[in-house]
Amino acid sequence: MSIEQFRTILFVASASLLFLMWRAWQLDHAPQPATQQTTAAAARGVPASPPAAAGEQPTEVPPLPEGENRAGPVAAGAEATVSANLVHVRTDVLAAEIDPKGGTIVRVKLLHYPVKIDTPDQPFPLLDAGAVTRFVAQTGLIGKQPAPSHHALFKAKTRDYTLKPGQDELTVALEWADPAGVRVTKSYKFRRNSYVIDVDQTVENHLSKAWTGRMYAQFQRTDVTPKSSFVRRNYSFTGAVISSAEKPYEKLSFADMKKQNLARTVTGGWIGFIQHYFAAAWVPIQAGKNHIYSKALGNGLYALGTISPPLTVAPGKSGRLEAKMYAGPKIQRRLKALAPHLERTVDYGWLWFIAEPLFWLLQKIHAVVGNWGWAIILLTCLIKLVFFHLSATSYKSMARMRKLQPRIVALREHYSGDKQRMNQAMMQLYKKEKINPLGGCLPIAVQIPVFIALYWTLLESVELRQAPFIFWIHDLSVNDPYFVLPIIMGATMFFQQRLNPAPPDPLQAKVMMALPIVFTFFFLFFPAGLVLYWIVNNVLSIAQQWVITRKIVGTA
């Protein structure tokens, strides 16, 4: 294979990779189609009952209310009803609504994360008991003695709770009592500047015998996977994630949950659902064995939950079962502080070992300059500095190749009828002039892994969501609205290509000339932060290559 053929293949492979990444980004930012049907249980606000943990008897699973069929279809657009008397909670970062029926968290809005940058008064709804799409968090107790499931009706002292200035914690208490003598207080604790909600269930046993039960915590969510799933499955993930001491991080797609219900006893662990920029997770007590389960309810509705080890409360005594829920942005330091491996929900893909250091360095730079755009520019300069000597060696090889262009063209004309002898003559020429014919391709080959890793860093990092740069760039995580940056990027790529030796083969030369146009098209829809990186990288490469080429060839 000749150097020109190798370079053409490398450029075409890069273009193909860009196309797949562009398609992934397009799908990830496209409006997600709502599932057109939910179950009858969902339409009435009734979720799945968790399966029994290992060793539990079926009688310990809370039954569905009489007459309700969790698998029955509902006409499109049917309302998923919730109680009229919702409990409203507002902190400095969250606005939540709790249904007294079961103490279900039916809505969570993230006050610091608007749906769109031009609608700052519309916070992003992470959890929502919608009409055809549903994402709620439920808790309950299961046992042989009286225990309130997520169907039980609790009582709240008031319907409105607000974290006041100077107040660090806010507790919402819901009460339930059984005539037989069991009282349960379900408490939700919210903290200032925190997306963690502590859920405690205190059991007061006034029975004449011991009370034994378990706590379960589950999410119920409809499938939001787009129909065009090939690219999304391979480049972006929306679905369930689970973790345990035995298996730190595992993805579970909606298709996986539909195929088979999950039932697994693990040490510690956590469960959750992730999507672009945001995550919701249940973290049970880490000591002892927890039971993780999933259940496909039909018509695109799924339950994912965890069941705690059993608690026994002696007569006249009280006991407490607890879990923590995270509902918020995928900020790594917050996730890492809550549970082991929870920070891995920020999914950088197979080049995570490059992406994680890049993000760490990007954060450090941002802490100094205070602007993510300038941080990207400085990060690009540092990356270029790291590869400076390798790039210099490659550019010297390309400059020598350019100097040899007239002799290469002469060899091609001389051996035009004998390709084998032509290649042999060219290799002898390269050997005589001490030139590595593949050396000029190294800058591109080296940049590709860094480019992909930085792509995921910019795509997955919620810190860059709606982050402004300068002038018309108000959000580095979306494409340039006026396409100025992609056009500049295409121009720099074209100019850089002019510094390289042109392929003698006319067809290859046309392909190379078309690549800047192809790349520009892809970059029209890439995040502005990524295009900014590529522009700065091209400009620095052009400057370095121009100086080296001028020294070796005599003119640029």
pLDDT tens digits for range 31-40: 443 333 333 3
Strand, coil or helix: 537: helix
- Going by C-alpha positions, the residue among 76, 38, 36 that lies closest to residue 227 is 36
More confident residue, 275 or 406: 275
pLDDT of residue 520 exceeding 70, the answer is yes
Q: How far apart are CA 464 and CA 369, in angstroms?
A: 14
pLDDT of residue 62 exceeding 50, the answer is no
pLDDT category of residue 398 using cuts at 50, 70 and 90: low
List Cα–Cα distances, 466 to 461, 469, 480, in angstroms: 11, 10, 12
In this structure, the number of other CB atoms found within 10 A of the CB of residue 417 comes to 7
- Give pLDDT, residue 44: 37
- Give pLDDT, residue 544: 79
Range in 74-83, 93-102, 277-286, 430-439 with the lowest mean pLDDT: 74-83
Which helix (H) or strand (E) element contains residue 7?
Answer: helix 3-29
Q: Give, as one character, the DSSP assignment of residue 525.
A: T
HSE-CB of 184 using CA atoms within 13 angstroms: 30
- Going by C-alpha positions, the residue among 430, 450, 455 that lies closest to residue 440 is 430
More confident residue, 542 or 54: 542
Q: Give, as one character, the DSSP assignment of residue 102.
A: T
Q: Which two tokens stand for residue 388?
A: 């400076």
Q: Give, as one character, the DSSP assignment of residue 345.
A: G
pLDDT category of residue 394 using cuts at 50, 70 and 90: low
Query: Hey, which of 308-322, 374-388, 452-466 has the most confident mean pLDDT?
Result: 308-322
Name every residue whose Cβ is closer than 8 Å to that of residue 377 and which is 6 or more positions away in sequence.
532, 536
Which helix (H) or strand (E) element contains residue 196?
Answer: strand 196-205
Q: Which two tokens stand for residue 356?
A: 């994680």
- Give pLDDT, residue 40: 38
Helices 506-523 and 3-29 cross at an angle (nearest 10°) of 20
pLDDT category of residue 386 using cuts at 50, 70 and 90: confident
Q: How far apart are CA 441 and CA 4, in angstroms?
A: 10
pLDDT category of residue 389 using cuts at 50, 70 and 90: confident
Determine contact, residues 184/145, Cβ cutoff 8 Å: no
Query: Hey, which of 4-18, 57-71, 263-277, 443-457 has the most confident mean pLDDT?
Result: 263-277
Strand, coil or helix: 457: helix
- Going by C-alpha positions, the residue among 254, 234, 325, 314 that lies closest to residue 284 is 325
In this structure, the number of other CB atoms found within 10 A of the CB of residue 116 comes to 10
Range in 130-144, 277-291, 483-497, 509-523 with the lowest mean pLDDT: 509-523
pLDDT category of residue 43 using cuts at 50, 70 and 90: very low
Q: How far apart are CA 89 and CA 159, in angstroms?
A: 8
- Give pLDDT, residue 213: 93
pLDDT category of residue 176 using cuts at 50, 70 and 90: very high
More confident residue, 496 or 327: 327
pLDDT category of residue 220 using cuts at 50, 70 and 90: very high
Determine contact, residues 503/510, Cβ cutoff 8 Å: no
Mean pLDDT score of the chain, rounded to an integer? 80
- Give pLDDT, residue 548: 74
CATH of domain 31-57+71-347: 2.70.98.90
Would you kindly state where each structural domain of the chain is located, as residue ranges? 3-25+354-553, 31-57+71-347
Percentage with pLDDT > 70 across the chain: 75
pLDDT of residue 483 exceeding 50, the answer is yes
List Cα–Cα distances, 68 to 99, 308, 358, 486, in angstroms: 19, 27, 52, 55
More confident residue, 132 or 155: 155
- Give pLDDT, residue 341: 93
**Phi first, then psi: what are they for 449, rounded to 5°?**
-60, -40
More confident residue, 406 or 398: 406
pLDDT of residue 478 exceeding 90, the answer is no
Q: Is the dihedral of CA 437, 441, 442, 445 positive or negative?
A: negative
- Give pLDDT, residue 450: 82
More confident residue, 149 or 394: 149
- Give pLDDT, residue 501: 62
pLDDT of residue 470 exceeding 70, the answer is yes
- Give pLDDT, residue 68: 31
Average pLDDT over residues 461-489: 92
Determine contact, residues 71/39, Cβ cutoff 8 Å: yes
pLDDT of residue 142 exceeding 70, the answer is yes
Beta bridge partners of 311: 213
Strands (E), 413-496: none
- Give pLDDT, residue 384: 85
- Give pLDDT, residue 272: 97
List Cα–Cα distances, 308 to 202, 216, 269, 516, 517, in angstroms: 14, 6, 11, 57, 57
Model confidence over 228-269: pLDDT tens digits? 443 343 356 899 999 998 899 999 999 999 999 999 999 889
The model's pTM: 0.79
Q: Give, as one character, the DSSP assignment of residue 276.
A: S
- Give pLDDT, residue 411: 77
List Cα–Cα distances, 379 to 27, 409, 478, 536, in angstroms: 28, 41, 19, 10
Percentage with pLDDT > 90 across the chain: 50
Determine contact, residues 276/461, Cβ cutoff 8 Å: no
More confident residue, 200 or 457: 200
- Give pLDDT, residue 2: 45
Longest dimension (CA), the chain: 105
Which helix (H) or strand (E) element contains residue 302?
Answer: strand 301-307
- Give pLDDT, residue 442: 61
Average pLDDT over residues 319-327: 97
Model confidence over 148-174: pLDDT tens digits? 999 999 999 999 999 999 999 999 999
More confident residue, 515 or 472: 472
Is residue 160 packed enough to be buried (19+ CB in 10 Å), middle (13-18) or exposed (0-12)?
exposed
pLDDT category of residue 143 using cuts at 50, 70 and 90: confident
Contacts 24+ apart (CB under 8 A), 112-120: 113/277, 113/278, 113/329, 113/462, 113/465, 113/466, 114/466, 117/466, 117/474, 117/475
Average pLDDT over residues 130-146: 89
pLDDT of residue 53 exceeding 50, the answer is no
Determine contact, residues 472/484, Cβ cutoff 8 Å: yes
Name every residue whose Cβ is closer than 8 Å to that of residue 140 and which is 6 or more positions away in sequence.
62, 102, 147, 148, 149, 150, 151, 152, 215, 216
List Cα–Cα distances, 140 to 101, 114, 207, 424, in angstroms: 11, 32, 20, 77
pLDDT category of residue 516 using cuts at 50, 70 and 90: confident
**Phi first, then psi: what are they for 524, rounded to 5°?**
-55, -30
Average pLDDT over residues 80-109: 91
pLDDT of residue 51 exceeding 90, the answer is no
